[in-house]
Amino acid sequence: MNTMNKTQRYIFLSLLTAAALILSIIEGMIPLPYIAPGAKLGLSNIVILSVVVVFGFKDAFLVVVIRSILLMLIATNPITFIYSITSGIVSTIVMALGCKYLKNIFSLIGISVLGAMAHNSTQITVAAILFTTMDLYYYLPILSLVSIFTGCFVGYTAIFVTDNLEKTLLKLGREA
């Protein structure tokens, strides 16, 4: 947003990074049904997609990288970090490209589904590389199906968050 000064922008992005980190940690504590092993809701992607829409790709990229590093230091390990950082970056790129070039075709819900599918495809690719087997790709259709549901939830929530963020930032800009 052009109405914020640099300090306000960094503070806001820091708060959003913290929110993404907290959502990632909480998500790791939520027991999901054993329908698709490794599948998660992607709660932090609510924040990431919102940052893509409100602040742009560069800031979203920064939030993804910092969140992934902090998550590794606080709650996971270097192997999980490899999955997190690669899939986070790829899904952020896909969502940013979707917002830029496909916003007339897809709503944020559709763009979120694309991001979720990119996230899962990247995680399968990373696992296939780490375990040197292509057999893991059999699991991709199952994860893609899960991506539709989680992507819809994340996209719908991001619409709400984005609307409120933009109102807050406009208000903040008028006060500055």
| Model confidence pLDDT, tens digit, residues 9-46 | 899 899 999 999 999 999 888 876 656 666 788 999 99
pLDDT at position 167:
82
Q: Is 6-28+41-164 assigned to CATH 3.50.50? A: no
What torsion do the CA atoms of 70, 71, 74, 76 make, to the nearest 10 degrees?
-140
H-type alpha helices, 30-56: 44-54
User: Which pLDDT score, from 0 to 100, does residue 1 have?
Assistant: 46
The token duo for 150 is: 């989680």
- Reference 47, options 149, 115, 106; nearest CA is 115
List, for residues 120-145, the tens digit of each pLDDT value: 999 999 999 999 999 989 989 998 99
Closest CA to 125 of 114, 113, 138, 134: 134
Q: Which residues have a Cβ under 8 Å from the Cβ of 53 and sit 6 or more positions away?
A: 99, 108, 158, 162
- Predicted confidence at residue 67, as pLDDT, reads 97
Domain boundaries, the chain: 6-28+41-164
What average pLDDT does the structure give for the chain?
A: 90
Lowest mean pLDDT among 60-64, 88-92, 116-120, 162-166: 162-166
Place 152 in a pLDDT band, splitting at 50, 70 and 90.
very high
Structure tokens, 55: 């602040």
Sequence length of the chain is 176
CA-CA-CA-CA torsion for 34, 17, 147, 89, nearest 10 degrees?
A: -120
State pTM to two decimals: 0.90
